[in-house]
Structure 1
Amino acid sequence: MTDNDDPRFQNDQPRIHPSAQLKGVRLGKYAEVGERVILRDVTAGDFTYFERHSEGIYADIGRFCSIAANVRINALEHPMERLTTHKISYRPNEFFRYQGIDNAFRARRQAKRVSIGHDVWIGHGAVIMPAIKVGHGAVIGANAVVTKDVAPYMIVAGNPARLIRPRFPEEIVIRLLRLAWWDWPTTTIFEVIPDIQSLCIEDFLAKWER
């Protein structure tokens, strides 16, 4: 039985707002893409959603990620070592005939993919810089500018983003990473929702660790 055959579940196809712009994008089941979101060469896992006006390029995003409005994932870098940082140096075709796009610069950008784990919450207006890795369960505060990798289950905020605190004690984080609940079948996710809502994290782990 597939998810779509189970009467308990909504249709598992991604939901994409008509105003969104997607190119080279792969979305998982139940993924959502909001109003005027722009994604280029992005993968996003099951249940991950993008709120309005967010943008992402060259990024791999896990399951169950919550991406707020006006987020920028893999913000464009400019070639500061050149005479000019202006796009005329890497996209001259927008201004002149017989001048092609700078494929070497594009390849440089493509090589700096952003990696975002599962169950990550990225707050309103946050910016994730190129080549950043964000671990499972992390939280990025509103308007943060993330210039360094973020470890699993850490909360960061500010410009540049700095560690605020862990979401849980280290021993709980280790158990959560071992649990890897985001890999469970949809039927199990359905079953555990009442416990997610009612149990403290220690009791939840005690009940569902295997």
Structure 2
Amino acid sequence: MHATGPNPNDIHPNPQIKQVRFIKNTLTRSNIIAGDFSYYDDPDESVSFESRVTHHYEFIGDKLMIGKFCAIARGTEFIMNGANHRMGSVTTYPFNIMGGGWELATPELADLPYKGDTVIGNDVWIGQNATIMPGVTIGDGAIIAANATVTKDVPAYHIAGGNPARILRQRFDDELIALLLELKWWDWSPEKITAHLEALCSSDLEQIRALAGRS
């Protein structure tokens, strides 16, 4: 059998596990971008990934960008910049959206806090019920613990957890992290990934060195 992994253009990579869906193939919004093989896991098939990306309005211009091979657990929420209220005025109350003449108090976009795009790297695992706040960047290979609220950037190959989330530890030593970031295995062809699954599923520095041509 010639194994090359699942079809990245399918919705369900494994037809027997319907709760796992590749994100890229379910998107309808142009302001959400996801790479191959990144998935969302939710047992309720009626829940779309896009419903987990809230306060996301095209006129604001922010994007959610997710790399390849990310694993995103059920209950994760990405809060985008449209959730922000004016903070420099006496009240933060959004009178303008209530109507009845209060729309005269509509703020300029420049008056609202804006944190930019939310960027999730490659091979990121986000645990159940995590919340990702606007403008956060989560580096390649990072892990976000269940129930975490991420308000600040998380470096590559670090683990973050808590509310607000803080860095708990590095996953690997500096040398292995540097090699993995150089290797960028997520950009390999499915055939090459398949051929090197043993090394990718280990933490053996010598195997990683060999893959990077450093042995």
Displacement of 1:13 in angstroms is 1.3
1:67 to 2:72 alignment: yes
User: What is the aligned partner in structure 2 of residue 181 from structure 1?
Assistant: 185
Give distance in 1, aligned partners of 2:178 and 2:135: 25
Matched with 1:171 is 175
How does 1:116-131 map onto structure 2 within 5 Å? 116-131=120-135
1:190 is displaced (CA, Å) by 1.8
Instruction: Mark the runs of 5 or more structure 1 residues left unpaired by the alignment.
Output: 1-5, 17-29
Question: How far 1:107 moved relative to its partner?
Answer: 10
Question: Which position in structure 2 is the counterpart of 1:22?
Answer: none
> CA shift at 1:145, angstroms?
0.9
Are the equivalent residues in 2 in contact too, given 1:138–1:152 (CA < 8 A)?
Answer: yes
What residue number does 1:27 align with? none
Alpha-carbon deviations, 1:154-208, whole Å to 9, x = none?
10100111111000011110111011101111111122224434x4431430332
CA distance in 1, matches of 2:113, 2:94: 13
Q: Distance in 1 between matches of 2:146 and 2:195?
A: 32
- Cα deviations across residues 64-97 of structure 1 (Å, max 9, x unaligned)? 11111111123432333345544543x45xx559
When the two structures are superposed, what TM-score results if normalisation uses the length of structure 2? 0.71
Task: Give yes or no for the alignment of 1:13 onto 2:13.
Answer: no
Uncovered stretches (5+) of structure 2, i.e. residues with no partner: 13-20, 57-62
* Structure 1 pair 204–146 and aligned structure 2 pair: CA distance change class (3 A): same
Q: Distance in 1 between matches of 2:28 and 2:146?
A: 19
Identity across aligned pairs (percent)?
Answer: 31
Q: Give the whole-Å Cα distance in 1 for the aligned partners of 2:108 and 2:10.
A: 34
Letter in 2 for 1:119: D
Question: TM-score, normalised to structure 1's length?
Answer: 0.72
Matches within 5 A, 1:72-87: 72-75=77-80, 76-82=83-89, 84-87=91-94
Asked if residue 204 in structure 1 is aligned to residue 200 in structure 2, the reply is no
RMSD: 3.5
Tell me the CA shift for residue 106 of structure 1.
9.5
Pair 1:115–1:38, CA change in 2 (3 A): same
Matches of 1:182 and 1:32 in 2, distance apart? Answer: 16
- Cα shift readout 1:95-147 (whole Å, capped 9, x = no counterpart): 559x69x6943996776210111111111111111111111111111111111
Name the stretch that deviates more: 111-120 or 7-16. Answer: 7-16
In 2, the alpha carbon distance for the partners of 1:185 and 1:8 equals 9
